[in-house]
Every structure is written in structure tokens, then in C-alpha cells.
Structure 1
Amino acid sequence: MVTNIILAVAAMLAVFLVVVALRPSTYRVSRSISVNASPATVFDHVNVMQRWQKWSPFENVDPAMKRVFEGPEAGVGAVYRWEGNHQIGTGSNTIVESRPNELIRFKLEMLKPHCGTNDVDFQFQPDAQGTKVTWTMQGRLNFITKILDLIIGMDAMIGSQFQEGLKQLKLVAENEPV
């Protein structure tokens, strides 16, 4: 009897591990919003990382978070490093490409609580409201993050944060004096 239970548990564990191993090794999360402001106005709120404190959904998670800005104030080479509690972790965000009013590409490196490197893009396109802003992140999944993706889903974990950040970015950009 005990042997059968152990064999059944081992078989279920083996099936679970195979399912996880066969999951895709990459992910992509993307959200968009229309902002009643010019592409230049919205672009500047993302291209100058010190301005993220006004709209980023990650800024208020840990009030004691330490922030360091390195390199130029804006554009390629600007770096934002942070160190916070277990919820916000430790990492850096570096602008690797910046095309005024069109695209900003970042290299996001997480050191704690999980290590990983991700590509993050902000695209700015004129639309009927003013500017359509699209925030996208993509990266690789290791075995542990594949389990998280299977149970919770990267889109569910990150997408709601992106949507909240875009709403705050919209609020900040639309209320900026012209």
C-alpha cells in the first residue's frame, strides 16, 4: 500500500517535471494605453529615469528603496540602479537605445530575489488621442521561472503592473503644463 502511494506520487512528480520542462523558454508581456499628450511629452517621462518616480508602479513598493542614477541624465547609457526589500529586489535598468519620440529600449537586470536579464521596450506612436504608448518586456525562463509561469503566468504577474504604470504615466503626462 505505502509502496503504491510512493510510486503514484513519484509518477505525478515526474509528469509535472516533464510538463514544466516542455514549456516555452521565453516570455513576452505587453500593454498599451493612449495618452492625450504629444509623443515628445510622454517620451521625456520615460527617457529621463529620474522622472519614473512620478509614475512607475515599482517606485512605491518599498518606501526605503535606495536609488542610484549613473551616466547621462537621459538617453543611451543612462542607468538606474535600485536596492529594496524582498518585494522590489535589487537590479538595474540601462537605456541601450533611444530614438526620440519613437522608442526607448532597456536592458533590465535583476539580481535579487531572482537573477535574470530582460529586454524592455517603450514604443510611442501618434494616435487620435495624442500618443499610443506600448510597454513590452521579454526574456528567458529558467526551470524555476517556468514553474512560476505555469502556476501564476508571467502575463498575469507583470501585465497588471504595466497597466497600472501606464495609467500613472498617462495621468502625469496629461497633467503636465504645456
Structure 2
Amino acid sequence: MAPTPYTVSRTTEIAAPADAVFGLVADFHRWTAWSPWERNDPDVERTYGGPDTGEGATYGWRGNRKAGAGTMTITEADRPGRVAIDLRFEKPFSSESTVVFTIVETESTTTVGWTMAGHSTGFAKLFAMVVPMDKLIGKDFERGLLALKEQAESGS
């Protein structure tokens, strides 16, 4: 069975400078304040590696069934406009995706885009036939962008 490609993408407008948004995205230590998945398992085990922020920074997690387990590595951090991440899930199923945040400042706001793209294979492909990836995590992206907006606009 051939892999099935997927893309999930959401955007929002944030009334804060692009650099402030970039700082929240390019530092995995700061994801606990806005990531929609951080509240899924309060006992999740986190590990950080590489530099504190930017290219080469890593974040690993291991939690309950809902949180699963996996790693993220920042592969590109182009201040203030783009952060690319290699995302690898180990549990509840194995998968690899590319995550890209685009951050574009205009006169009055900053437009933030959050996109995840990859291929569903094996169990994930079968599951995606019932629940498409956009339906599965699109609402999480929306909640995460809302929390990112609140953090950036509050100056946290």
C-alpha cells in the first residue's frame, strides 16, 4: 500500500512583532506556554538537547497514550520569518513529518502560518482513511495558534 500524502495548515494574525513570535516558536523550552499538546499529559517526560534555541535544538517527549512519544529537531531558523522542524513520532504510531512556521510582519500585525506535511503509512494510513489528518489535528493547530497569539500579545 503506497503512502498517502497529507498537509495540515492554519494561519492567524498576531498583534505583536515577528521577532516576539519567532522567539516563542524557535525555543522548545517556551512551547510549554502555548503548544496545544502540553496539557494532554501533565506528567509527560521532556528532554531537550542541542542549543537552547534555533537550528539544531531538539525536544523529545514520552507520555501516556494520548501524548505518545517522539522527537522534534529544528532544521531551519531564519529569524524572524521561518522555523522548520523535523517531527518524528514513535508512539502511538511511527511517522515522520515536516513542520514549518512562517512568520510575516506587516505594518499592524504578524501573520503566522503553521503547516505540517508528511505521508501516512501502515496503521496511520488506515486510521487516516477514517479520520483525515486535517480533521485529526486541525483543531489542535487552531488552539495552539490562539495560545501562541495570547502569549505573544501579552509579551510573555
The answer to whether the superposition gives a TM-score over 0.5 is yes
2:117 aligned to 103, 128, 138, which one? 138
1:66 aligns to what?
45
Residue 162 in structure 1 maps to residue 141 in structure 2: yes
Give 1:143 deviation, angstroms. 3.7
The count of residues paired between Structure 1 and Structure 2 equals 156
Contact preservation (8 Å) 2:93, 2:123? no
TM-score under structure 1 normalisation? 0.84
Partner secondary structure for residue 85 of structure 2: strand
1:78-119 Cα deviation digits (max 9, x unpaired): 000110000010101100011001100000010111011110
- 1:171 pairs with 2:150: yes
> Post-superposition shift, 1:127?
3.2
Which structure dedicates a bigger proportion of its chain to helix?
A: 1
Unmatched runs of 5 consecutive residues or more in structure 1? 1-20
In structure 1, give the amino acid aligned to 2:6: Y
SS of the residue corresponding to residue 114 of structure 1 reads: coil
Matched position secondary structure for 1:97: strand
CA distance in structure 2 between the aligned counterparts of 1:34 and 1:131, rounded to whole angstroms: 6
Which has more radius of gyration? Answer: 1
1:19-168 mapped onto 2 (5 Å cutoff) = 25-127=4-106, 129-168=108-147
Looking at structure 2, the residues matched to 25 and 60 of structure 1 have their Cα atoms a distance apart, in angstroms, of 29
Structure 2: segments with no counterpart, 5+ residues: none
Amino acid at match of 1:160: K
Letter in 2 for 1:72: P
Q: For the residues of structure 2 that align with 1:127 and 1:159, how far apart are their CA atoms?
A: 25
Deviation at 1:129, TM superposition (A): 4.0
Q: Aligned equivalents of 2:73 and 2:141: distance in 1?
A: 18
Secondary structure in 2 matching 1:172: helix
Distance 1:147 1:73 in 2: 37
- Residues 115-148 of structure 1 show CA distances to partners (whole Å, capped at 9, x for unaligned) of 1111000000123541000000001111422222
Q: CA deviation at 1:153?
A: 1.0
Counterpart of 1:48, as a letter, is D
The residue type equivalent to 1:101 in the other structure is: P
- TM-aligned CA deviation for residue 151 of structure 1: 1.1
Identity %: 35
Higher strand share: 2
